[in-house]
Amino acid sequence: MADKIPSGAPKLWGGRFDPAARRGAQAAEFDRFSASFSYDRRLAHAEARGSRAWARALAAAGILNTGEAAALDAACAQLVAELAAAPPPDDPGIEDVHTYVAQRLEAMAGPAARKLQTGRSRNEQVALDLRLYCLDLRPACEQALGDLIAAFAAFARDHADVLIPGYTHLQRAQPVSFGHHALAYAEMLQRDRRRLADAYARVAVLPLGSGALAGCSFPLDRQALARELGFAAITQNSLDAVADRDFAAELLFTLALLGIHLSRWAEDWIFYSSAECGWLALGDAFATGSSLMPQKKNPDALELIRGKSARQTAALMQILLLLKGLPLAYNRDLQEDKESLFAALDTALDCLRIAAGVVTTAAVRPEAAARAVADPALLATDLADLLVAQGVAFRDAHEIVGRMVAATLDAGRDFRQLSPAELARLAPQLDPAAVAQLSAAASVARRNCIGGTAPEQVRAQAARLLAG
Ligand code: ARG
């Protein structure tokens, strides 16, 4: 790569440097090391929009004459249009996105473009571009999150009456509606959605007009710049504005937690689709075969969602470590904020879309779920509740049912098959008819408070989510 850098080209912003130092392998090696265009070219559209707004502000402040302003505005408009569809191709001869846009504008608008850097620093440009880029992705992120929430809600509506064992400690605990389980993830995603909106409130603050660090020395209207670029507010401290990446860290935390939610869900559904449970058959489009074992249908989509969540968490760690101990204001270290942020955003969007596909194409296997949920152990709490209804204190009921469990379940029997004599000995307070009526369906139906697993509640919550 190093040999592709035009050897001996004058150093960018390099009036004070010895031209002789541009020759030789070390200069080329450092150019390659310091270049960021291979990844920050994604910011080209944002950079062109920012440049257009800046040119207009310079014109309004009388720094550009009418002809210069018109030439620059037309060139910026053309570049904005050109870059809307896709970023420019990589070019190892270009240092960064700021150089790329400056060179293009100079080629299009001529000498007027050489005035564009008046009062403006790459330090604030890169902060602006990154914020604009994140803002551009907001609709896609919200759409993908909303679609996945809707997919879980539809699953819950359709499978509210399918019961599965609910777990604690990965030990069977109580019956729950399969829909209730899906809605637990919808709930997490709802929080992610609110967290995302909250994080975006701090992304949408304009840093432009901060100069390199001390503020702008020309009388530019920062509020007008903010309006033009779609920002809700402007930064209030120039040192902070060029050095701040909190907005990226907050966004990354939101994406990391979202990734962890998806990873937990993937783990549950991998288990549910295994032969050990068999309550779900994943859509063929989201499963893969084995190179050796012809019978295999592997849940690779879910495994990749679980695995990829590491990227977002790693990106969060990276930005926190990058910021720790950085002195004010801008430092070149900050160039290292981008690749992992882009990867985290890309991955989050991918995972959300694949997850929605997995949810909408999975088939529930009600017979297998019914076999699992027929485990009488799941009803031990309901048995204790029957005693409570007879006036027994819950602690005593717990003790009594514990003895019944030892006498029946541990021996492979169902406590509903206890003889009247056995029942009278173990728990004389119990009505044998009530014991015989215990069932998973009755168990979930009783949990009919808001937030409970009763199918009625599940359907109501699914309907609320689907209504938006
Ligand atoms: N590539 C740089 C970054 O990503 C852009 C800003 C460069 N500023 C500077 N003073 N060298 O942070």
Domain-by-domain residue ranges, the chain? 14-118, 124-170+178-371, 375-466
Q: Is the pLDDT of residue 25 over 60?
A: yes
Ligand 1 geometric centre to CA of 4 (Å): 21
Write the CA distances from 160 to 44, 72, 279, 310, integer angstroms. 48, 61, 14, 32
Which of 12, 30, 98, 122 maximizes ligand 1 atoms within 8 Å of its Cβ, making it the mutation to test the pocket?
A: 122
Mean pLDDT of the chain: 95
Helix then strand then coil, in percent of the chain rounded to 5, is: 65, 5, 30
C-alpha 350/C-alpha 249 separation (Å) is: 20
The pairing of beta strand 363-364 with beta strand 171-177 = unpaired
Which of 335, 338, 341 maximizes ligand 1 atoms within 8 Å of its Cβ, making it the mutation to test the pocket?
A: 335
Is residue 281 within 8 Å of residue 273, measured between CB atoms? Answer: yes
Residue that has been written with the tokens 């009600």 in this structure:
366
Q: What residues does 168 pair with on adjacent strands? A: 171
pLDDT at position 3 is 43
**Out of 38, 121, 159, 169, which one is annotated catalytic?**
169
Structure tokens at 145: 């999150």
Ligand 1 geometric centre to CA of 38 (Å): 14
Q: Is the pLDDT of residue 1 over 50?
A: no
pLDDT at position 22 is 76
Is residue 243 within 8 Å of residue 329, measured between CB atoms? Answer: yes
Task: Provide mean pLDDT across the span 366-394.
Answer: 96
- Please give the CATH topology (third level) of the domain spanning 375-466: Ribonucleotide Reductase Protein R1; domain 1 (1.10.40)
| pLDDT over 70 percentage in the chain | 98
H helix runs in 277-393, sequence order: 300-323, 338-361, 366-373, 380-389
Q: Is the pLDDT of residue 98 over 50?
A: yes
Q: Is the CB of 122 under 6 A from ligand 1?
A: yes
Is residue 427 within 8 Å of residue 438, measured between CB atoms? Answer: no
Q: Tell me, yes or no, if 340 is annotated catalytic.
A: no
Domain 14-118 sits in CATH at 1.10.275.10
| pLDDT over 90 percentage in the chain | 88
The pairing of beta strand 171-177 with beta strand 233-234 = unpaired
pLDDT at position 8 is 56
Structure tokens at 23: 């020759």
Q: Is the CB of 130 under 6 A from ligand 1?
A: no
Q: Is the pLDDT of residue 179 over 60?
A: yes
Ligand 1 geometric centre to CA of 332 (Å): 6
Task: Average the pLDDT over each of 21-25, 51-55, 142-146 and give the range with the smallest value.
Answer: 21-25
How open is the CA angle 388-391-394, to the nearest 5 degrees?
A: 40
pLDDT band at 6 (very low <50, low <70, confident <90, very high): low
Q: Tell me, yes or no, if 217 is annotated catalytic.
A: no
Q: Is the CB of 123 under 6 A from ligand 1?
A: yes
Residue that has been written with the tokens 């960021």 in this structure:
36
Domain 124-170+178-371 sits in CATH at 1.20.200.10
pLDDT at position 20 is 79
Task: Provide mean pLDDT across the span 31-39.
Answer: 97
Write the CA distances from 218 to 44, 62, 69, 118, 297, integer angstroms. 25, 10, 16, 9, 65
Q: What is the pLDDT of residues 382-420, one digit of tens each?
A: 999 999 999 999 999 999 999 999 888 878 899 888 889
Nearest CA to ligand 1 atom 11: 332
Q: What is the pLDDT of residues 241-297, one digit of tens each?
A: 999 999 999 999 999 999 999 999 999 999 999 999 999 999 999 988 888 888 888
Q: Do domains 14-118 and 124-170+178-371 have the same CATH topology?
A: no
- For the purposes of burial, counting CB atoms within 10 Å of the CB of 452, is it exposed (0-12), middle (13-18) or buried (19 or more)? middle
pLDDT at position 2 is 40
pLDDT at position 294 is 87
C-alpha 463/C-alpha 454 separation (Å) is: 14
C-alpha 432/C-alpha 424 separation (Å) is: 9
C-alpha 172/C-alpha 288 separation (Å) is: 29
Is residue 226 within 8 Å of residue 292, measured between CB atoms? Answer: no
